[in-house]
Structure formats: C-alpha cells, structure tokens
Amino acid sequence: MTYGQELATDTVLGLGFVVHLPHAAAADLGAIGFSDHASGPWRRLALDCRYQKVPMPNHVTTEPNPSRYSEAMEHQIALVRQLLTPIILLGLAALVLVPSGLGGTAAAQPAPDYRSRTIYFLVADRFHAHEPLEPYVDPDHPDATNDVNCFEQTCPDEAQWRRYWGGDVQGIIDKLDYVQRLGASAVWVTPLMENVAAYEGGTGYGTSYHGYWVQNYDAVNPHFGTWADVSQLSQALHARGMRYIQDITLNHSNPNDNHAYGQLDQLDGPSVPFIRSYAHDYDPATGRRFYKHYQNTAACQAAQKVADSEWDDWQLHHCLLADLSGYDQRNPTMAAYLIAAGKLWLDNGVDDFRLDAIKFPFPEFVARFTHELTDHTAAEGREAPYFVGEWSNGGVGDDRSLAFANHYDVYGTNILDFQLALALNRFIGGSYEEPAQATSGADLDALLQQRTTAFDGRDDWQGTFIDNHDQMRTLVRLQKLGIQSETERERRLDLATVLLMTVRGIPIIFYGDEQYLARYDEGHDTPPTYINSDNDDPYNRLGMTAWSETTPAFEIIQALARLRQSSAAVWQGTYQGVYTDADVLVFERRSGADTVLVAVNRGDARTVELTTPVDLPPGAYTGVLARTGETNAAARLAVRAGGGATLTLGRLGAFVARSGEVP
C-alpha cells in the first residue's frame, strides 16, 4: 500500500479497524475529505500528506475491533491535528490581516464571553406564526399544512401534530423583544433548510415540520420564509446584541423508504438533483456513492436491535440512524457539498451552529467542517462560530462523548450534556422517581464536581438544558411520575431552572418552559421505570400561546440571565459544594473576588445551618430571587463573622446571592 492508501484506512482515522480499499481511489485523500480537486491550502495539505510516512499499526481486519478504540482514537486525533495545524495558522493570520471593519462592526464593543450568554431554543413551526396567521400552503402538497389553527384551538388528532402549523421566521422576528427581555442573548432555531414537501404515512409519518429531513441546503423551506427573511432575522438579532444559532444536519438528508427517498438537491430557485435517491447515489465524477451502504453487514444488522448507545465505533460511523439516508462524508464531493452549505448559511447571517446527531458522522469530517467554517468567518473579520453537537446520552459516564468533546482543538465543537439534564430531572422528581433512578442533593453535588474533571475543565463551554424537542417535557414527566398538583410541578421545574442557570455550562431554555408550556392529555401513560425512554413525540412540540412576563419561571430566568451576564463567578467560576442532604443542595460559584451562593430545596420549608464557611461578607441576604414568587420570597441567608451561616428555604424554594449584594 502507498502512504496515501494507508492514510485512507479506517485505523488511521481512529475507528478501531482497517479496511482494504479496492480501487486506486484509495490513494486519494478523499477518504478523509481531501481531493486533488481541492483548492488552496486543502490541496496543498492533500499533496503534502499523501507521501508523508505515518506509522501504521500492523493489525489488519475488516471487522470492528473495540479493544483498539483508545489506541486508534489517539492516532486519529494526532493525524487530524497535524493536518489542521496549517489551516488553524491560516485562520489566525486572517484575523490579523483582515481589517476589523470587514464584515463586522469595528466600532462595536468587544463581544461578551460566550459563556455569559443564555440560549433560547425554539422549534420554528411551533414558536410563533406572524399575525394575521397566513401559513404557507404548498400547491402540490396542500395537506402538509393544517387547515385549522392549532395555535388557538385544540387539535386532538395526532395527524394534526405532524403537519405544519404556520410558525415562521417572521413570527420569530416579531417576538425577539420578548426573548430579549427574558434574558436570552442567543437564539437556536431548528433547521430552516428546504425539507421534503409531502405528508406521508409509514415510518416517516407526517411532514418535516421539525426541519430534520432536509432535501436542499441551498434553499429556505418556504413554510418558514425566504433568504430575505433569514437575513432579516440575523439583522434583528444582531441589532439586539444577540447571536443566531442555526441547527444543521451533517449526518443525513431524509428517509430512504418514503418521502423523497434520499433525494438531495442543490441551488436555489429551480433546484437540480445533487443525489437522485438513496438507491441511485453514484457520484458521476468518481463512481463512488454519496450515502453509506452497510445495512446488510452483520454489524449493522445487529445495531438495529439495540439502542445506538450500545453501538461500537464502527457501527456509529457506518450504520444508518433509523431509516435516514446517511451521508458518506469521506466522499470528497459529499464533504464539499456540506461544507459549502455551512458557509452559505454563514454568509446569510448565521453566527453559530448546533450540529445534529454529531456522534454518527465520520469524526475527521466534523473536524474539517468546524475548522473550515471558523476560517471562513475569520477571513471576513467575524467572531468565530460557537459549535455545539447533539451527542445523545453524552456527558459523564459516556467515555466516547467525553473523548470527542475534550479534543476541542481537533473537532472544534462542544456537546449537549444529556447526563446533566437527566440528573436535573431526577433530582426535582424526588421521591416520585423510581428508587433505582432517584438522585439526592448529595448525588447531584457529586456529579457537578465530577463534570469538571470529566470535561477536562471545559464543562463551562458545553450546552446544558432541562428538556428539548426530542424528549418529554419536564412538566409532563413530573405529571407521569404522579405529581397531580400543577402548582407543585411548576415549582419543581423552577428548581431545575435555577440549577440550569447557575451550574457550569451554557444554559439552553426550551421554548415555552418560561410559560410552563405542556400538553398532558396525549393519551398514554408511562410507568416511572421507563419515564426516561419516552420522548412524547410529537406532543412535546406545542405551539406557544402565552407570552406573560410575570410567571415565576420567566422572572427566574430573567434575574439569573442578568446575573450570568454580569458575574464571572457564574459563567466561568469554580464549583464548590457547601451543603447537601437528600433534598437540599447548596453550592458556591467563585471567580476571584466574585462569589455567588446557590441553594435549592425540593422538600418542605426548613432552616439549614451551614457549618462550612461561605465566601460572602457577614450580613443578612434576601437574594436575587426574592421577587420571583412567594416560595422564593421566604428565603433568607444570615452570614456570621467567620463564614458560618443560617439559611432559610421555603418549600420547593431556591435562593441565590452574590458577594456584591448589599446585606
């Protein structure tokens, strides 16, 4: 084998096995997204590295070998880092050489640290329809849009929940002042790319109102608007000092067994097929296939019988996710298409990206995607994008997700912390949880301390959340656990919100949580044992109907978002446990002289003596949540000389105080 062929093997890419490539194209670095047809530095890297002698393990097999994961992972990381170093240097040079006013705002104040931001996540079709309601109706597929207004009336049929409701980009723009007053300074929007158009039955039930069955990255889904609307959204966000986070799918296009059958188009306006279908996906230039075709292998057949959390590395990067047409990002033409799509959306005003299903694409492609897009913004004098990837079940205990996130210099993306979300939900569930899944204050404290070590100190850059569009809403989860009182469910969600806003990480608010948005009568019960495996789809994606700015949840988020913006202790400070028991967790966040003390109580009202000295000046504190509802208004902290303190907490109440607060 030539050195180019060696570089094209899977072992070098760190997936724990070697595959013999049967044709001369194996010598091309297209296997990792490089091509002789590449331009600029990528072409130079391809030519330089093709003849570079990279030590190769002698073990050769065509089957996965999980035992070699660690060795192969480190080999991949070293190689990708080596390949990317010149590109990173090129990007740094661009930051120096490009005038600061080019594509940016030279006179603007320095951008705040991204960790000080609060992200608001919305489903475009369900957040807000511009008024008066005039939903787009596809003339060829009119049944894809509901013929009733589900924002204003009850829609009992599941089919109605799987059609478009009429939310759009203009509707988002109309509510940006509301989102800004909430305290969010970044907005994450579900994919706005053109998706499959029809309403279908079967596995791909319904329409692509959610945005994750893309058919053309070069066009905007007409149900949501136009390129002009996208640019206007970006401008409206930037005028408010807010960032635009666009969701994008790098793993797949659309279902291969219905809808468009994997067809992928390009160009706006009169689009033309880029890929005919999953079955007819040959690259006319090279004869290679655009999609992955390993479903008939024993490994992929086995993968279909278990959750993807149980897949080995080969399965993750070769087997399809459900029936979705999974891209072969090692095809250089496919890789170039996706990278061009990312740049196109950047050029139309996007700042940052949420990367859907990030555990499945070939990891070396993820590295190339994030680095090329970062260089693209640098060349325009813009702030680097923030990338956060959806690694389902990721976080403490999932070693592969941690290895991915902790090599940020290689892969360039953070991840969503699913394990923290699970712990927050289990903590507020209290005694209603299945005993084996219960989480005490002490358990949560241990996890929060472990996160810092597990993420190599970068846990403050990961995306944190309570619930999302792929999970059961927390209020519904609490109801299914047996909490019948709506008021109690809301107070427990408030506790999770306080924790979300004050622990290490960048908090993401799921649209409607500030209004206690929930649908409880979806028609099925879930025993507590299985509560964490039921996603409640599609009833977790309700339409927003209330915009109150006086709910306790709204006021809590507002107060703590302001605190986060002003307090380095919150957005970058250390985590220090102060007191724990079954129902109470007290901790401090510290950065220099800035200290914030946080306490949550999921039990009855009580007074706690804090024998561990707290880092607050002596005095009596009412805290920053005193005006966020009766439960929190009752909280008090009395700090004595020497650091001891007495803390009073209301039932299901919380308390937050800062060292700068006047006692």
Residue 647 is part of which domain span? 574-658
Q: What angle do CA 433, 435, 437 make, to 5 degrees?
A: 70
Does residue 468 sit in helix, strand or coil?
A: coil
Structure-block tokens of residue 218:
């070069």
CATH number, residue 628: 2.60.40.1180
**CA angle at 643 for the pair 459 and 607, rounded to the nearest 5°:** 85
- 644 vs 231, 304, 617, 655, CA distance in Å? 54, 56, 10, 17
d(CA 502, CA 658): 12
Cβ atoms of 193 and 265 within 8 Å: the answer is no
Helix (H) or strand (E) holding 84: helix 69-97
Q: What burial letters (b/e) apply to 614-651, b meaning 16+ CB within 10 Å?
A: bbbeeeebbbbbbebbebbeebbbbbeeeeebebbbbe
| H or E segment and range at residue 540 | none
Which pair of structure tokens corresponds to residue 121? Answer: 């996540």
Residues 464-495 as b/e (b if ≥16 CB within 10 A, e otherwise) read bbbbbbbbbbbbbbbbbbebeeeeebbbbbbb
416-446: buried (b, 16+ CB within 10 Å) or exposed (e) per residue?
bbbbbbbbbbbbbbbebbeeeebbbbebbbb
Residue 181 has, within 13 A of its CA and on its CB side, a CA count of 11
Residue 25 CB neighbours (<10 A): 17
Write the CB contacts of 627 (distance below 8 Å, at least 6 apart in sequence): 555, 559, 633
C-alpha–C-alpha distance, residues 542 and 559, integer Å = 26
Residue 324 lies in a domain: no
Give 131's contacts (C-beta < 8 A, 6+ positions apart).
174
Q: What is the model's pLDDT at position 521?
A: 77
pLDDT for res 308: 95
Structure tokens at 634: 């009752």
Where does a domain end: 66, 97, 128?
97
Alpha-carbon torsion angle 572, 577, 582, 583, nearest 10: -50
Contact 562, 636 (CB under 8 A): no
The closest alpha carbon to 254, from 319, 323, 168, 300, belongs to 323
Question: Is 397 inside a domain boundary?
Answer: no
What is the phi/psi pair of residue 12, to 5°? -60, -30
Q: Give domain status of residue 81, yes or no.
A: yes
Residue where a domain stops, chosen among 42, 69, 97: 97
* Local mean pLDDT, 10-residue blocks, the chain (663 residues): 32 33 34 33 32 32 41 62 56 40 44 96 97 94 95 93 97 98 98 96 81 98 98 98 98 95 92 95 93 98 96 98 97 97 98 98 98 98 98 97 98 98 98 95 98 98 97 95 96 98 98 97 77 87 97 98 98 98 98 97 97 95 96 96 94 96 64
Helix (H) or strand (E) holding 7: helix 3-7
Give me the sheet containing 414-415, strands edge to edge.
Answer: 414-415, 387-389, 352-356, 243-249, 186-189, 119-122, 506-510, 463-465
In which residue are the tokens 């059609």 written?
A: 163
Residue 644 lies in a domain: yes
Q: Are strands 186-189 and 119-122 parallel, antiparallel or unpaired?
A: parallel
Q: With contact defined as beta carbons under 8 Å apart, do 11 and 72 qualify?
A: yes
Evaluate whether residue 568 is within a structural domain: no
Peptide bond into 435 cis (omega under 30): no
Residues belonging to the chain: 663
pLDDT recorded at residue 425: 98
Tokens of 193: 């790319």
**What is the secondary structure of 213-251 as a DSSP string?**
SEEEEEEE-TTT--HHHHHHHHHHHHHTT-EEEEEEESS
For residue 57, whether the previous peptide bond is cis, meaning omega lies within 30 degrees of 0, is no
- Which of 75, 81, 82 is closest to 14 using CA atoms? 75
For residue 613, being part of any structural domain is answered with yes
DSSP state of 436: G
φ/ψ region of 505 (left if φ > 0, alpha if ψ in -120 to 50, else beta) reads left
The percent helix, strand, coil of the chain (3-state, each to 5) is 35, 15, 45
Write the DSSP assignment of 26-74 as a string of letters. GGSGGGGT--TT--HHHHHHHHHHHT------S---SS--GGGHHHHHH
Give the type of residue at 405: A
Terminal Cα distance for the chain, rounded: 73
Does 70 fall in a domain?
Answer: yes
Give the number of other CB atoms < 10 A from CB of residue 540.
Answer: 26
Domain end marker among 33, 63, 97 = 97
Q: Within a domain: residue 597?
A: yes
Whole-angstrom distance, CA of residue 342 vs CA of residue 214:
14
**Burial state string for 26-35 with b = 16 or more CB within 10 A and e = fewer than 16:** bbbbbbbbbb
Q: What is the Cβ-side half-sphere exposure of residue 113, based on CA atoms within 13 angstroms?
A: 16
548 and 554 in contact (C-beta within 8 Å)?
yes
To 5 degrees, how large is the angle CA 465–CA 468–CA 473?
105
Q: Three-state SS string across 580-649, please?
A: ECCCEEEEEEEECCEEEEEEEECCCCEEEEECCCCCCCCEEECCCCCCCCHHHHCCEEEECCCCCEEEEE
Q: How many domains does the chain have?
A: 2
The predicted pLDDT at position 94 comes to 43
So what's the pLDDT on residue 175?
98
